[in-house]
Structure 1
Amino acid sequence: MGMNVMVRDVGPPAAVASVRAFRDGLAFLDPVDLTDADRVDLIDELERTKRAAAAAQARMTDALRRSVHRAAAPGPTARRDAARSLGSQVALARRESPGLGDRFVGTARALVHEMPATMALLERGLMGERHVTEVVKETAALSAADRGEVDRRLADALPRLGWRGAGRAARRVAAELDAASVVARTEAAVASRRVSVRPAPDGMAYLTVLGPLTEVVGAYAALRTRAAAVVSGQVPDEAPHGRGAGAVAADTALRLLSGRAIGQVQPVEVHLVMTDRALLGTGDGSRTVSEPARIPGHGSVPAPVARSWLRGAGEGSVWLRRLYGSPDGRDLVALDSRRRLFGGLLRRMLVLRDDVCVTPWCDAPIVQGDHTHPARDAGDTTFTNGSGACARCNLVKEAPGWGVQVVRGSSREIQVTTPTGHRHRASAPPVLGWGSDPPSRLEQHLAGLVDAA
């Protein structure tokens, strides 16, 4: 979620102030009077500085992990809750998702306690954070002793490798040291097979199938064979219609996965939010017909593309639902419910408003409708008090020391408070997405008065 700021109530200690002063000083580096050789040298040193900063982050993260675990109550449930809370705190501090926060906590622990040579390379700026993440990931199934042996063997080679090469090297040594653990990891990976979707630029999306190598390669080969036959005119029931082999393969895969016959319309519901002006050319004449539409959780779509989707959807397959916005056109209006759970149209309104999980920098899809002010403390099941959240963030906010509240006087801004007292704020996007804030009616009126004068 965009437009996030972090505030603190107390002055930072000397260590934080020192790093902050160094960071601020980077803004005053002037490249004008430097030679090209100097500029290249400076680019190199700044890259090393980023890598050394990642090493310092790892040390701080592991120290925080040890402190949190010492303070945690005994028992597996309490330790699991503490680990989840820790990962979310680190994620907020790094402006990243909770999943990446968990990953960095594990990486930091491995670097600090089990891989001193790799850590030293990171500190000296000879390896990047992505490199060490790959090495740690590929040695995750090993014992501490075997991981240390990988660290020792690859210490000289790693600075010369890219991040993919570093991962391959670590994987090879791991397979040599403990083949059984690598086999067990491979077998366990089969249980994680899944299908996922994520947005792509220009109104497209990626559909990813994670499965056993042999089966995925076989499916890909079958698609390519079918596509080649269609393009060459050897399939009587399907013509290429100007498509290349790649487009035919993609169309075939999507058609077969959705169970459609050739030429059948895709029977799926998509929440497409756009103004009446952009859709029909009617309504507020001050707005443009080119204003992009938005698909919650996936981002903006150019208005002509959205209109073409609707034209090609087929008769009787498009349903319109009017959404009423605030006078300035930024926010959806409130919708209340007396029910305890967020369901039906109320839940749909939360998804349309919040787009993705409301936790700053999470960006995970909305899974649960949640009470910002808890229902157990007389929080209302209302549009204003509701929040769209992923399952992870909804659980974390119930952990000791966490708090979430709607900022008083804001249109829809929440504040997340962590156990260390840090506060992070995030706003719901405008109804058509970030960058679409229209001027308010009052601003337009005042501008008209100024022009008239």
Structure 2
Amino acid sequence: MYEAMQQRHRPPVPPVHTECTAVLTALSTQLARTLECGSTADCAAAIEELTALTAGYDYLKAMLAHQLEKEVFRTNENNGTHANDLTRGAASTVALARKRDPRGHRSYLANARILAEDTPFLAQRFALGELTEPQAMAILTPLQDVNAARRTAFDTHFRATPDLFDGMGPKQISETVTQYTLQFESHTKSYRIKEAGTDRYLRFTKDRDCIRVNGKLPLAAGTALQQHLRQESRRLRQHGDPRTRTQLQADLFTAYPLAGHPDKLPLALNIKLVMTDKTLFLGDRTPAYLEGYGYIPAQHARELIAGAEIRNEDYFHHYPDAHDDLALRIETFPDIQRLYTAPGDSELIAMDSTARAFPPGLKEFIKIRDKHCRTPYCDGLVEEVDHVIQHHLGGPTNVLNADGRCALCNKAKESPNWVEVPVGEFSHSIRINPGTGAYYRSVAPPVTGYRHRQFPDLLTQSKWVRGKPWTREELEDPLEDPDP
């Protein structure tokens, strides 16, 4: 039986790599046994091993694509062809070899170039299978916006903090790296956002059985409308409306202009913008977080709050190609004395409750804190605020025992043998065992900046970080925390 299973599930052996036959044969034998009688833990472990193996081959494909691009460059240069685009044809050739759509492969080649030339530690992690191809590309694509020195600096930081992307999906990884790049291209990105806003449009296209709507809205207005439709559709579903969320959003989008509700117009759309006091008042380049969209440059966030274009942007209106390093030299900011200290008695963060449901203020805080679903590698939106240790098991309703989840993951954690516990008093960290014997850690992202910073004095002295501390007896958890 094992022989038949081996033959059925034997990995293909390319003719030019026949020396790998022995290794692949051993692998197929092991997989055949697992496929026939493997436990849940065996299957999960095998999937992890195969994922790492696949990632290693994806790294090699990226390196081969980079080598191919260099050969195309040399060929065109030697032949005197395509002088204005010496890599012409490389992206299409790689796309054919990968059996992919050629669109987007110029970006793929740019990422392969950065991987090979500017980010040696990232290349090592990718080669070892610790990052999948989507995760590696999510790191590399934002790095295209900064120069080689900035990329190498980020790679050096990654080397110092190798757990930087642990548990993150591609979208969260991209947001993290974007925070880094926005520090150096704030003005350029702000200019591009405003230029995109001037190209706003709505187009209605007649289809066979319907009208298709396609459009482009300014960042703030579009985000506010998106958030409004999401919240209203969720509220109506919770009150028993049988329509799907997407149907509700379509109906809400058209209801006001078609049916007319003068008592409810205009809509009060609002946005939530999270930024530091330094960014707001002192021209700091730490990006701001726009809920529903992601990270935006500090300059654009200040302009949203001011309601007008900030004067030092005029230079970039006339010279949009000016490098952001020039902005570092020509900008000046007023000397403002900051009067802000640690938040003190902030109800939002220190809130506890004996109720089963989370209070609205605490829910809002958790959504802003977590940004995405807290299940490792899930990029879903926070749809539900959840008890880490379930309420019926004695888990309290407070900030230390709360996390944001998408609806799918919130249901999945109710599976038998799935166990989650908070780790540490202040880190907003969770340890998860899905019942396979493997443990995963989820850490809430920093509110601002792309990495966590520790402030011991704040942690020990400020009331706003104090909540009910977890004890080992309360958790009834026999395992030691691997990362105290």
What band does the TM-score fall into relative to the shorter chain? 0.3 to 0.5
Q: RCO greater where, 1 or 2, for CA within 8 Å and sep 6 or more? A: 1
TM-score (norm 2): 0.40
